[in-house]
Chains A and B, each alone.
Chain A
Amino acid sequence: MPIEIESNAKFAEYADPSTLVSTEWLQNHLGKDGLVVLESDEDVLLYEIGHIPSARKIDWFTELNDAVLRDYLTAEDFSKLLSEKGIKRDDTVVIYGDKSNWWAAYALWVFKLFGHPDVRLLDGGRDAWIAEGRELTREVEAVVPTDYPVVLRDDSKIRAFRDDVLAHIGQAMIDVRSPEEYTGERTHMPAYPDEGALRGGHIPGARSVPWSRAAGENGVFKSRAELEAIYLGEAELKNGEDVIAYCRIGERSSHTWFVLKYLLGFATVRNYDGSWTEWGSLVGVPIVKGAAPGALSER
């Protein structure tokens, strides 16, 4: 059975408060029947050096991706994975992770592709939990396997492919990479090694809003008013617009996807997981260099 939704003044401002929990709420609900806590980190060993008591690990690199195709799990794989993790279809799943929930949001997005009904993020993630001095453990609790149903992945609503993006040019798009990646000065994150795209720049018309701007102190999400100032103000998104977000491989943009969809309430937001590693290497697609969003005709 789903667990009750947290109600507090900050979350009440958001479009869909049912997708977030606070550290305080989680602390008070740990061990409750029907609650599963998952940690999803960028550093694959962080869970091992200490995690929230009773949390299970989910590994974005080895568990959420297909081992051969550049794609996510199949319905059968997802069912097997969640069964092994002891998750039931009607469980409330709370996901948290490092770096302001960057990879936690990515895992949540994959859960949503399979339509898991109740999945929430821990506001602030791992860093907020630690900053508040809350308990961590290295103990890994035994899991009772479940029989998670085989549910088809629905790529039509929250995922965009390259042809969708091509057709979308001229409509709202957010590029969540660093400014240097956006302008085309570089094809990878500053201080990170180059992971390969043949061209630098951005998709015509895409506005630049680096993903981490949605997070404030301790990695918690900024207030609704602050987020509106960024996405509706600076980036000039209009309520009701269809939006596509992208980054380099689709992880940072799932964080922005979460913000736009659940915190600001855009009905149609898609994450383009092919992102720059695909677009920047595709033959013949339009690219804009420099700080201005540009348009298709300018090519």
Chain B
Amino acid sequence: MQALEEIVEDFNALGLKDRLNLLLEFSDALPELPERYASHPDLFERVEECQSPVFLFVEVDQDDIVSLFFTAPAEAPTTRGFASILKSALDGHSVREVLEVDDDFPSKIGLSDAVSPLRMRGMRAMLARIKRQVKEKSH
């Protein structure tokens, strides 16, 4: 998947400190929920494995195209950054493409030296939950 490979390349082209800055840019760029979901917290699934409260919801349209929605507090920038990376990488791709993403993709963005193992597991858990919802919702 090209979007995903580009993100991996972008991170790995940088030194450790700039990788964290890039993660911060992703965190800042995580969009607000669209109105149709903002008032429906019941639709969202909590990612229990993450240290900060982060909730996700997956939409699969009639053509099996995936859209992701996340909500996480501003005071949880690392978690927001991970959510934002997954959104940028996976949004607009097909069910098949999303399911083919390497489960270990979070280990490839070069953040394991900067972020604790607990948090890296949190990101893998987000991906696993996305894939499960995608499977459940595909046509």
A159-B117 Cα distance, complex, nearest whole Å: 24
Contact yes or no, A45 B20, CB < 8 A: yes
A49-B117 Cα distance, complex, nearest whole Å: 22
Contact yes or no, B115 A48, CB < 8 A: no
Q: Which A residues touch B21, using CB under 8 A?
A: 48
The segment from B37-45, B48-56, B93-101 found at the interface with A is: B48-56
Q: Specify the main secondary structure of chain A where it touches its partner.
A: loop
The answer to whether the Cβ of B24 comes within 8 Å of any Cβ in the partner chain is yes
Total chain A interface residues with beta-carbon distance under 8 A: 14
Q: Specify the main secondary structure of chain B where it touches its partner.
A: helix
What's the nearest-Cβ distance from chain B to residue A190, in Å? 9
A46-B24 Cα distance, complex, nearest whole Å: 9
What's the nearest-Cβ distance from chain B to residue A151, in Å? 26
Total A-B residue contacts, Cβ distance less than 8 Å: 51
A62-B113 Cα distance, complex, nearest whole Å: 7
A192-B122 Cα distance, complex, nearest whole Å: 9
Q: Which residues of chain B (90-139) have a CB below 8 Å from chain A?
A: 113-118, 121-122, 125
Partner of B118, one of A48, A62, A193: A193
What's the nearest-Cβ distance from chain A to residue B47, in Å? 10
What's the nearest-Cβ distance from chain B to residue A195, in Å? 6
CB within 8 Å for A49 and B24 given contacts A44-B78, A62-B113, A195-B118: yes
Q: Which B residues touch A62, using CB under 8 A?
A: 16, 113-114
The answer to whether the Cβ of A236 comes within 8 Å of any Cβ in the partner chain is no
Q: Which of B75, B113, B121 has the most CB of A within 10 A?
A: B75
Contact yes or no, B115 A44, CB < 8 A: yes
What's the nearest-Cβ distance from chain B to residue A106, in Å? 12
Contact yes or no, B118 A45, CB < 8 A: no
Proximity string of chain B (64-94) to chain A, C-beta cutoff 8 Å, 1 when within and 0 when not: 0000000000111111010000000000000
Q: Which residues of B contact A (CB under 8 A)?
A: 16, 20-21, 23-24, 27-28, 48-49, 51-52, 74-79, 81, 113-118, 121-122, 125
Q: Which residues of A contact B (CB under 8 A)?
A: 42-46, 48-49, 61-62, 98, 191-193, 195
